[in-house]
Copies of this chain bind each other. A is one copy, B any other.
Amino acid sequence: LKNKGFERNTRQREIVLDELMKAKDHPTAAMLYERVRAQLPRISLGTVYRNLERLTRAGEIRRLDLAGAETRFDADTSRHYHVRCTECGRLDDVHEITGDLVGERFAELGGYRITGYQLEFRGICPTCRAQADDTS
């Protein structure tokens, strides 16, 4: 599928994706909106959100739902982790984990002094598994 589920190719989506690919700072929707406006002054924030959502569903970008922080977006869809600065909010990539998660021994990752981490699992709970079995 050439357009990966998109029914139309629009200049708005093209430029939103383009700006995200150029970005190195994992921008929020609002940050991206400002940058896209330099090229498309009449674009709306809603359109930016709508395209980011579509691009995410199409697998072209990644939505970074961070704990207790504004959602950010990443054009790098390869498996990697992130570090967030608790002082300024800066977000960087962590490509290799050196240290022990359970023992909580991370002196330093990518120049950051690591102060903690958040690990959270996703899955299907026993109840919903049973319901899935019913309907299958």
Q: Is A90 an interface residue (CB 8 A)?
A: yes
* Closest-CB distance, A67 to chain B (whole angstroms): 4
Contact B123 A86 (CB under 8 A): yes
At the interface, is chain A mostly helix, strand, loop or mixed? strand
A97 cross-chain contacts in B, Cβ below 8 A = 102
Copies in the complex: 2
Q: Which of A3-11, A31-39, A126-134 contacts B (4 or more CB under 8 A)?
A: A126-134
Task: List which A48-86 residues lie within 8 A (CB) of chain B.
Answer: 63, 65-68, 71, 81-86
Q: Is A41 an interface residue (CB 8 A)?
A: no
Q: Is A43 an interface residue (CB 8 A)?
A: no
Task: List which A73-130 residues lie within 8 A (CB) of chain B.
Answer: 81-88, 90, 92, 94, 97, 101-102, 106, 109, 111-129
Q: Which residue in chain B gives the minimum CB-CB distance to A86? A: B122
- Chain A interface residues toward B at CB < 8 A: 63, 65-68, 71, 81-88, 90, 92, 94, 97, 101-102, 106, 109, 111-129
Sample (8) of A-B pairs whose CB atoms are under 8 Å apart:
A65-B118, A66-B120, A81-B119, A84-B123, A92-B125, A114-B121, A117-B120, A119-B119
